[in-house]
Chains A and B, each alone.
Chain A
Amino acid sequence: MTKKRFREKTLPAAVMVGPVTLWLILLVAVPLIYILVMSFCSIDQYYNVTFHFTVDNYRHLIDASYIKIYVQSLVIALLTTLICIVVAYPFTYIIARTKSRFKSLLYMLVIIPFWTNSLIRIYGWKSFLGTTGWLNSILMKLHIISQPLDLLFKQGTTVFGMVYCLFPFMVLPLYTAIGKLDSTLLEASCDLGAKGYKTFLKVILPLTASGIFSGCIMVFIPCLGYFFVSNILGGGNSDVIGNLIERQFKSGNNWPLGAALSIILIVITLVLVKLYQKTGGDMDSLGV
């Protein structure tokens, strides 16, 4: 009996679930534990990691210079998220509710650019916006400007790059939420005396709030970590937490400190996701 049970129930289940479990253990759980352990390790004078328990790494995290970057990261992430909402909402609303036969084409047009690696696209922007770049040469040739505009290496440029990279992550959850909106509810609202903006505030916005919130999470969190955007477009003037982590692992050669920073980033992420869940957010619409 037990042999039969093994053959008919346990074995097929193990075959199906096994590879995924192994994958998750090896590539998610083990590295995470590794980072966690690392964050409590110390380094010797030759920058070698030694397994000597310490909480110094976490103590370093509240250095004034770091705090300045946390604040800067939060500002950049908040600005990016805000711009993404304001731009993506009306845009997505039109795409999601149009009855045009080009609907799926419009949707694809949002997605297709993101099949190219974002690093390459950000380099593209750098050469486009630079003092000898396309934009400046065209404007100079047209005599609209006499001096090249200094567009790169500003916080605004970083925010622009972040918005550009993360825009579809705002569009996707909004598209789902707005697409699900029952149009008879809008008709009912109008029928009951609500003008367009009232319907938007009282019906459309509350019913798509979960989409807005999940979009915010999906933009805000990566924004804290997208170090390459601030590296390439910000030129060191607009570092985010991701830059700190990158530096500790590479030039700084202080892996334990980098690990501690990573743990903080993970904690921030988890807190935000928990908050999202608490406010009634649907975990599935995060798409993770």
Chain B
Amino acid sequence: MNTIVDIKGVNKIYGTNHVVKDLNLLVEEGEFLTLLGSSGCGKTTTLRMIAGFEEPTTGSITVEGEPIEDKEPYERNVNTVFQSYALFPHMTIYDNVAYGLKMKKVPKKEIKERVLKMLEMVQLSGFEKRYPSQLSGGQKQRVAIARALINRPKVLLLDEPLGALDLKLRKQMQLELKRLQKKLNITFIYVTHDQEEALTMSDRIAIMHDGVMDQIGSPTEIYERPATKFVATFIGETNVFDGTIRSIEGGKAVIGIENGEVTSSGSVEEGDGKNTGFAVNEFVTVSVRPEKMHFLRNRWRALRFRRLSEITSM
């Protein structure tokens, strides 16, 4: 896999507001990467820095190995799908989709071919002469996607593109977006606060929290092995116990919690508790997914966890 976007040590500060903190992120070519987090976590700012609408305060961003700091948005080989669609209200659907190609002075005949093909791909054939105000939300979103994709960007940036749609349409568009991404083999960087959306579509998810990227990994990794307490509680349902490690033997840790103790079934690495692994007497948080619990009739241990998801350092 080749790296297509490389974000190195990026900070974004507005006045006294530190929005993105020391972000390092490698995006691989052809992957569907989601930046997931609640509002105000810096995910949209990160996206806008890649697009060129914001400049990093410090740090660098390269696309295909080329630094893009000095490039205007129109010089970058990335395109954006905006949350509010941002369709030009005074232009027909045809002109909206053709806009990027017209700016690049592509021959008229080729523009026509590509626009019609693109509209077919997003299932909007026959809508060329309509205006954005005559379309439904879902249709507008498709136009916005077509308008961005027609430029054959290396990276497509999507800023909560399905946020304004109703649930049913959103589900349908999720599948459609994923299909388009696979078909065209374009790198998607997708921003959302909807964890279900992220888990459904992404190859990898980067979880952001207060301007910091807490964890990046596949949906399974994120779910099964959350790196921080925030990630554990943000994704899915979980049970959280605070406790102290009593012993670590053969990779199994015994953790004392409020009224009893739990034993991990997975391997727990022993270390000094600061830089490496976990140490005895360390305060930890135990996160157990509900579906990983089952109850046994046992006189001595009323409750046992079949498998611990993760033990997280406090």
Contact = CB atoms under 8 A, between A and B. Distances in A.
Interface of A: 182, 184-185, 187-195, 198, 202-203, 206-207
Given A187-B73, A206-B90, A207-B89, A193 B84 contact: no
Contacts of A187: 51, 53, 73, 80, 82, 86
B103 A185 contact: no
Nearest to A209: B90
A193 B106 CA distance: 12
Given A192-B74, A198-B103, A184 B89 contact: no
B107 to A, nearest CB: 16
B103 to A, nearest CB: 4
Contact of A184 (B84, B103, B104): B84
Contact of B74 (A185, A190, A203, A206): A190
B90 A193 contact: no
B74 A184 contact: no
Interface residues of B, number: 22
B9 interface: no
22 contacts: A182-B84, A184-B82, A184-B86, A185-B88, A187-B80, A188-B86, A188-B87, A189-B88, A189-B99, A191-B51, A192-B74, A192-B79, A192-B99, A192-B103, A192-B148, A193-B100, A193-B104, A194-B74, A195-B72, A202-B99, A206-B90, A207-B90
B61 to A, nearest CB: 16
A39 B294 CA distance: 98
A190 B86 CA distance: 12
Interface of chain A, main secondary structure: helix
Nearest to A184: B86
A192 B147 contact: yes
Across chains A and B, which 4 residue pairs bring their CB atoms closest together, nearest first? A193-B103, A192-B100, A188-B86, A184-B86
A190 B73 contact: yes
Contact of A188 (B52, B80, B90): B80
A207 to B, nearest CB: 6
A182 B88 CA distance: 10
Nearest to A185: B86
Contacts of A184: 82, 84, 86
A73 B103 CA distance: 42
A207 B84 CA distance: 17
Nearest to B104: A193
B44 to A, nearest CB: 12
B116 to A, nearest CB: 18
Nearest to A199: B74
Contacts of A202: 88, 99
Contacts of B89: 207
A191 B72 CA distance: 9
Contact of A191 (B73, B87, B90, B104): B73
A243 to B, nearest CB: 41
Contacts of B72: 190, 195
A192 B53 contact: no
B103 A191 contact: no
A191 B84 contact: no
Given A184-B86, A188-B86, A206-B90, 7 more contacts: A187-B73, A189-B88, A190-B53, A191-B53, A191-B80, A193-B100, A203-B88
B312 interface: no
Interface in B51-92: 51-53, 72-74, 79-80, 82, 84, 86-90
A83 B74 CA distance: 33
Contacts of A206: 90
Interface in B184-226: none
Contacts of A189: 88, 99
B151 interface: yes
A190 B100 CA distance: 9
Contacts of B99: 189, 192, 194, 202
Contacts of B87: 188
A179 B48 CA distance: 23
Nearest to B79: A191
A185 B148 CA distance: 13
A191 B50 CA distance: 11
B266 to A, nearest CB: 45
B71 to A, nearest CB: 12
